[in-house]
Structure formats: C-alpha cells, structure tokens
Amino acid sequence: MNICVYGSGSRKIDEKYTNEAYRLGQKMALKGHCLVFGGGDTGMMGACAKGVHDNGGKSIGIAPEWIGDFEPLCKECEKFIYVDSMDERKNKFVENSDAFIITPGGIGTLDEFFEIITLKKLKQHDKKIIVFNIDGFFNKMFEMIDEMAQKGFLYKQTEIYKIAESIDEIFEYLE
C-alpha cells in the first residue's frame, strides 16, 4: 500500500514527535508499505523517511524543485516526482496514495489535511485518513472542529477520518 504522510519539515521540532515519525516510517517499511511524502529531509517528513529507508523500505517524494530553497530534499527516495506548484503536489499525493496519515505540522500540513478531508467529503476519493495525534498535538483543532459542528457550520467530521494515539492504532485501522 502507498501511504501518504503529511507533516512538518521544520528543524525545530521536539524529538518526541520526530522519534514517533521515525518509528512510523520503520513500521511502514517492515509491513511492506511505500511512503509517499513531500520529499523533505528534515522534520517529521525527514524522520519518517529515515525510518522507512533505514529499514529497507521504499518512498516516493513529491515536490516542486524550488522547495529545495527552503528545506533540503531527501536523496534516498526510490522515485521523486517534480511538480510546478503546491496544488499539483497535492493532486499527485492523491493520485499516488492509497491512504493518508497526518502527523504534527504547521500551516502546510493543515492545508493538506483540510483539503484531503474536503475531497473525501465531496466523494472525490474514498481513501482512509488517519490523524496521528502524538501527545495530544491536535486536541485543540479537534475541539474547534467539534465547536464548528455544534454551531451548525459543518457536519461532524469524525466519519471522514480516524484519530490514532499510537502507531499500533494506525495500522489496526489501515489493515
């Protein structure tokens, strides 16, 4: 299975997050899954990719060439797809992935998460989406989504994605 992992590329992330991202990549490789990701070599993306590659797994990086001006790109990818824009990148994630895991990240990660759940809600795909809520990272976002639903701004979103507190929960849902 090709699993797309969204997450930050920041170099300032606490090790409790990047260590979990590494373990996620490790488990993906050991289970024979291919990582699809933004191609970055740092932060959550880089840690997950390192976990994959250190354990004999394969990955597909997807990024515009100019993103290398902001963060180093992973050189160990089995395949690297260069695109012209961030929109094209997100489309390639959908085309090349069977499931999505959202790990802690910033604005870019939230953009990817909200787009992928919106596309699922609009029946543009029916792929599994899992939010990896490491150490409660996304709790405030879930509170905001619940409040939006309570106030009638959206339908409850939990049917569209699953929340996992551990790597084991992720793979229980995927398999």
Over residues 110-156, the pLDDT tens digits come to: 999 999 999 999 999 999 999 999 999 999 999 998 898 889 998 65
* CATH number where 91 lies: 3.40.50.450
Query: How is residue 101 written in tokens?
Result: 């895991």
| Domains identified in the chain, total number | 1
Rounded Cα gap, residues 80 and 113, in angstroms: 22
Three-class DSSP category at 45: helix
With CA atoms as reference, report the closest residue to 38 among 80, 70, 66. Answer: 80
| pLDDT tens-digit series, residues 67-86 | 888 888 999 999 999 999 99
pTM for the model stands at: 0.95
With CA atoms as reference, report the closest residue to 165 among 117, 132, 116, 130. Answer: 132
Query: Distance of alpha carbon 5 from its chain centroid, rounded?
Result: 3
The range of the structural domain enclosing residue 68 comes to 2-174
C-alpha distance from residue 127 to each of 4, 78, 93, 162 (Å): 11, 23, 12, 12
Rounded Cα gap, residues 58 and 29, in angstroms: 7
Query: How is residue 126 written in tokens?
Result: 């029916």
